[in-house]
Amino acid sequence: MSALLDIRTLVLIYVGVTIGQAVVLVYLWRVQRNYPPARDWAIGSLLFAIGLFLFALRNLAPVFVTEVISNLFLLPGLMLFNFGIVKAANAKPPLRTGLALCVVVIGLLAWFSLAAQSYAAGVLMQNLVFLVLYIYTAIVCLRARTAKGNHTFRFLGLLFVVLIVANAWRVAGGVFDLTFSLSPTLPRLLWIATSLISFPMITVLLTLHTSQRLQEEIHAQARRDALTDAYNRRAFIEFGAMEWSRSVRHDYPLSVLSVDIDHFKNFNDQHGHQTGDAALVQVSKAAHAALRSDDLWCRYGGEEFVALLPNTTMKQAMVVAERLRLSVANTTISSSRGPLGVSVSIGVAERSANHSSLTEVLAISDAALYRAKADGRNRAIAALDGDAILASSHEPELPTTETQGKSRNQ
């Protein structure tokens, strides 16, 4: 009787730990409502806790409840929890296969428990499913591609390896000796002990992963323009410095497009700021469609945009600029007065050995932009030698390292 009490006490402690884990993960889900893995962790851990509690009532509740109903919560709960980790590792879990496996195994467990009355075979079947889920999750975590220095999924994979060892020992005991009882044998104690240690650690790692992801989201949003989803000036400074260094170090070409929406103030005055905002969004979408994957599109201020074209000569940049101009010209903006159109003027400049900074190249592309507007707008113009002289008189100021902190606060 004392052995029965001991094993049930351990299982009840396991239930309490699992409920605590579920509470933490539900809170995590509330913080990250738009993150599907957090939802899977929360719901999966809740289902698993309910199933484990029903399983702990063995000899106190009907067999149908402790052996069949409990597994209706245990198996789907564990599957959902593990598949949430798989999603977080940027892999696609086999949901249909997992659900089919749960249905088949629960049916077999019902037959073993009610018809064949073989508790040992039922526990063996249950632990085989656990083992398969742990092996699959461990493989995905250990193979996950993460940012340099992020070892969260490796640690998760190692914890699942520990669970695999414990469950494999229990399954091996069932295969070679189908005499399961409620006495706390060493394999069962190892299984409970590893679960009590591993799952809280897994919860800590999932919380850490979610926190890191939230920080990355905040950092990414700080680089984006809220209206157009283009990169902002801060991102242009940050990425521009990296591309400039790469271009100088390896002598790669680097070009800049200065883009301005034509007559935008008049457009705003005639159609209202809401329609003006829609125009900014549509121009940005048209630019993304015209630019290449390596190009950087930034809203520099108001109706002014800048495109940074790595590894691009002046001739290639002119092709990109003309494609961008045509893409915008073919874009329509919805308004209460019907579809509207806008055009852009573009100045193009390329880095040369004579240029000392990206600021200088940007000033030259701005000078070419002014010429494009003076020549009638809705056109792309390449910078000339004279633009460098003109640019020196109105060179745009890029925030320095000292002023970047101020601009972030603003």
Whole-number Å distance between alpha carbons of 267 and 276: 7
Does the predicted model carry a pTM greater than 0.75?
Answer: no
| Residue 216: predicted pLDDT | 79
Whole-number Å distance between alpha carbons of 140 and 389: 58
Per-residue pLDDT tens over the stretch 131-184: 999 999 999 999 987 665 568 899 999 999 999 988 887 777 655 554 444 444
| Residue 171: predicted pLDDT | 74
What sign does the dihedral 46-47-52-57 (CA atoms) show? positive
**What are the residue ranges of CATH 1.20.1070 in the chain?**
2-222
**What are the residue ranges of CATH 3.30.70.270 in the chain?**
233-398
Candidates 79, 85, 71; CA nearest to 25 is 85
| Residue 174: predicted pLDDT | 53
Listed in sequence order, the DSSP H helices in 292-357 are 314-329
For the domain with range 2-222, which CATH number is right: 3.90.930, 3.40.50, 1.20.1070, 3.30.420?
Answer: 1.20.1070
For 183, which DSSP code?
S
The CA–CA distances, whole Å, from 355 to 238, 244, 314, 346, 386 equal: 19, 11, 15, 20, 14
Residues of the chain with pLDDT under 50: 1-5, 178-184, 388-410
* CATH class name, domain 233-398: alpha beta
| Residue 85: predicted pLDDT | 95
N-to-C CA span, the chain: 69
Residue 72, H or E segment: helix 70-88
Whole-number Å distance between alpha carbons of 67 and 57: 10
